[in-house]
Chain A
Amino acid sequence: NAGVTQTPKFQVLKTGQSMTLQCAQDMNHEYMSWYRQDPGMGLRLIHYSVGAGITDQGEVPNGYNVSRSTTEDFPLRLLSAAPSQTSVYFCASSYRVGQGTPQYFGPGTRLTVT
């Protein structure tokens, strides 16, 4: 199993550009989520999904869109990048929904918006 994979590893965008961060898992996990990691802020939840076709907002959803058309994939779209979105983005998944279960994290995407 590859686990949770993310592409790209690094990305530089200009203000106003759009892009999609890719996340995939091959563990047949129901639950997937996106976090951003900023110095001194820990990890904050952006969006999450409890299954294909179902998504919901986390703590900091503004400026981001998600979709979950398959169990395996959970892309994160930045509609119009802003410098405040410079961060490290982590995708995570867990095998079931409804109870606290360990989440498995991807390697991260380091995004810089100039």
Chain B
Amino acid sequence: AQRVTQPEKLLSVFKGAPVELKCNYSYSGSPELFWYVQYSRQRLQLLLRHISRESIKGFTADLNKGETSFHLKKPFAQEEDSAMYYCALSDYGGSQGNLIFGKGTKLSVKP
């Protein structure tokens, strides 16, 4: 079954520290992986797509098909990075591109 797992409900780091938000997925086909971010009481915003291989707001994420992971990383966390982060998976063929979300990780960056 298709599944996205984010093992940490809450991740707390100090400003300037590195941060890694973990995401593992279960899917037998060729998934597309995303990271979405939700700042306090705002709508979800797309942060990264694995196919873009870009860095947004200092965040990067690499798809590791061998480990079925798509961890989100940033070398130096900022207070404004505090938010809820969701990893999501979309398949190409079966479900018309529907997104399957993990349960989310709340990142708290302390001053």
Contacts and interface: CB of A to CB of B under 8 A. Distances in A.
Contact of B97 (A90, A94, A107, A108): A94
Nearest to B99: A103
B90 A42 contact: no
Interface in B86-107: 86, 90-93, 96-104
A41 to B, nearest CB: 6
A43 B97 contact: no
Interface residue range, chain A = 20 to 34
Contacts of B42: 107
B86 A106 contact: no
Contacts of A103: 46, 99
A40 interface: yes
B32 A42 contact: no
Contacts of A56: 96
A100 interface: yes
Contact of B31 (A94, A100, A105, A108): A100
Nearest to B46: A102
B43 A90 contact: yes
A42 B45 contact: no
A35 B43 CA distance: 12
Interface string A71-97: 000000000000000000010101011
Interface in A4-45: 4, 31, 33, 35, 40-45
A48 B36 CA distance: 19
A45 B104 contact: no
Interface of B: 9, 31-32, 34, 36, 42-46, 49, 86, 90-93, 96-104
